[in-house]
Structure formats: structure tokens, C-alpha cells
């Protein structure tokens, strides 16, 4: 999944005027003392909350989130999952996940959740949210392409912040964003090939 972050960040930059962002730092996917896979950043699995917060700060710094997204005035908040991994338990987010949550009409009391699974917590005077698109860990490349297409359907072209040219993020189905962004030349879509990563062994 690591190689997708640059494209995902570009996508978030593009739609910064349309959406807000929430980052949740999870338990480490490949901690040095658990399941190392040669990551250039070596970190032990978090043993306590301050450890997790420190890792989150390092992650956000590595992604240039502060330098890039904050500089652009993106409305976002950085958070960390509980040490009981409550967010992951609810959303199956580990090792990485992104989704778009669309607000529903404001409601004043708790509503039954579609498909079972309990009641949504009441949000006084504010919106409830519906999950409209979620990444699939088994096929992250296609998932990100699908996510880009979904964002395009929701918000249109967005703003080009990648620099130079009229790249059409999310307009070509079946290709990952990287292929699309790297493949658009002179206004013509250049067909590129890509394969989705399989389940990690």
C-alpha cells in the first residue's frame, strides 16, 4: 500500500475545497518486532498511547501533510485509534483504509442502521454520515482508481494542484491514478497497464 500514498495525497489536495479530511493512525502494519517487511522506517508496535501518538506525528510528517495540505488550508484533523483498536474493530481499517462519508440530512435522534448492526449514535443538531466508498485491501490499485472515479462523480474535476497540465484524475476507469496522471500527454489519454496487488502472503 505504501506506493499509493503519494497518489492518494494528490487526490486529497485536488478536492480540498470540497471535503474535509480525518486521519486515524492505527496499530502498525509492519512493526519491527512483529512483521517487518523491510520498511525504511522502523518502529516497534505501540505499547502505549504516547508511543502511538509519536508514530502518528512521524507518519504525518513523512507524508508532508503539514507542509502540503495544511499550507493549502485543508480542513483536516489528525487522530489516533485507541490502544484497544476500537476504530479498527468497527471499520476493519487495518492495515490501511480510506472512505468517503457523505452527510445525511440533520436529525435529532438516533436512527436504525441500515443492514442491522445497531443504532447510530445521536448527533445533536448535526448530520449523520453514510459510507459511500471504501478501499479494498486486496486490490488497492483498483480501489484507488475507483475512489478517484467516485470523487470525480461526486465533485467533478476538482482543482489541479499537482502542477502543470490538465491531468484528469479519476476520469479513466480501470487505470490507477498513477497511470492516468503519468499517462496524460497533450490532452490525450495514453493507455497504460497496471495490475492490482494480490493478497499479501
Partner 1 sequence: MQSRQVLAREERELFKQHPDRKWLYKHNASWNVFKVDDLDNWNWWECALSCTEPAVETDVTEEMLLIMQRYEAALRLSSATQQLLSRVYHQEVVCGMSSHESVIGALQAHVVKSFGVVGSGIEAGLALLRSAQSTLSQARNRAELAVDQDEFVPHYVRFNRLRQPQVQVGQQLLDSPLHDMQGGRLKFLSTMQALSTSGPGSPEQPCPVVVVASSLT
Q: Whole-angstrom Cα distance, residue 163 to residue 186?
A: 15
Write out the binding residues for partner 1, residues 133-152 only, by CB under 8 A. 133-134, 137, 141
- Angle between helix axes 5-14 and 140-155 (nearest 10 degrees) is 0
Burial class (CB in 10 A: 0-12, 13-18, 19+), 193: exposed
Which residues have C-beta within 8 Å of that of residue 168, sequence separation ≥ 6? 157, 180, 184, 189
- Give the side-chain half-sphere CA count within 13 A for 10: 22
Q: Which of 13, 68, 88, 162 binds partner 1 (CB under 8 A)?
A: 88
- Using rule CB under 8 A, residue 108 touches partner 1: no
Size of the site for partner 1 (CB under 8 A): 103
Closer to partner 1 by CB, 18 or 173: give it. 18
Under the binding rule (CB under 8 A), the answer on residue 86 touching partner 1 is yes
- Which of 47, 66, 70, 103 is close enough to bind partner 1 by CB under 8 A? 103
Q: Does 34 bind partner 1 (CB under 8 A)?
A: yes
The stretch near partner 1 (CB under 8 A) out of 32-40, 163-171, 183-191 is 32-40
Candidates 10, 13, 14, 31; binder of partner 1 (CB under 8 A) is 31
**Cα 161 versus chain centre, distance:** 18
Binding of residue 14 to partner 1 (CB under 8 A):
no
Taking CB under 8 A as the criterion, which residues in 37-76 touch partner 1?
37-43, 49-50, 52-53, 55-59, 62, 74-76
**Residue with C-alpha cell 484528469?**
168
Q: How many residues does the chain have?
A: 201
Amino acid at each position: 500500500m505504501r506506493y499509493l500514498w503519494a497518489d492518494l495525497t494528490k487526490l486529497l489536495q485536488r478536492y480540498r475545497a470540497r471535503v474535509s479530511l480525518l486521519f486515524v493512525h492505527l496499530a502498525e502494519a509492519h512493526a519491527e518486532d512483529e512483521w517487518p517487511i523491510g520498511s525504511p522506517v522502523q518502529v516497534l508496535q505501540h505499547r502505549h498511547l504516547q508511543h502511538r501518538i509519536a508514530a502518528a506525528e512521524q507518519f504525518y510528517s513523512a507524508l508532508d501533510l503539514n507542509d502540503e495540505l495544511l499550507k493549502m488550508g485543508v480542513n483536516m484533523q489528525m487522530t489516533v485509534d485507541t490502544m484497544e483498536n476500537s476504530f479498527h474493530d468497527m471499520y476493519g481499517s487495518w492495515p490501511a483504509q480510506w472512505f468517503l462519508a457523505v452527510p445525511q440530512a440533520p436529525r435529532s435522534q438516533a436512527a436504525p442502521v441500515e443492514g442491522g448492526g445497531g443504532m447510530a449514535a445521536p448527533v445533536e443538531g448535526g448530520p449523520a454520515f453514510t459510507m459511500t466508498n471504501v478501499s479494498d485491501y486486496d486490490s488497492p490499485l483498483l480501489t484507488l482508481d475507483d475512489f478517484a472515479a467516485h470523487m470525480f462523480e461526486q465533485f467533478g474535476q476538482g482543482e489541479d494542484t499537482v502542477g502543470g497540465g490538465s491531468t484528469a484524475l479519476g476520469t479513466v476507469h480501470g487505470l490507477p491514478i498513477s497511470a492516468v496522471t503519468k499517462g496524460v500527454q497533450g490532452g490525450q489519454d495514453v493507455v497504460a497497464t497496471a495490475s492490482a496487488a494480490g493478497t499479501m502472503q
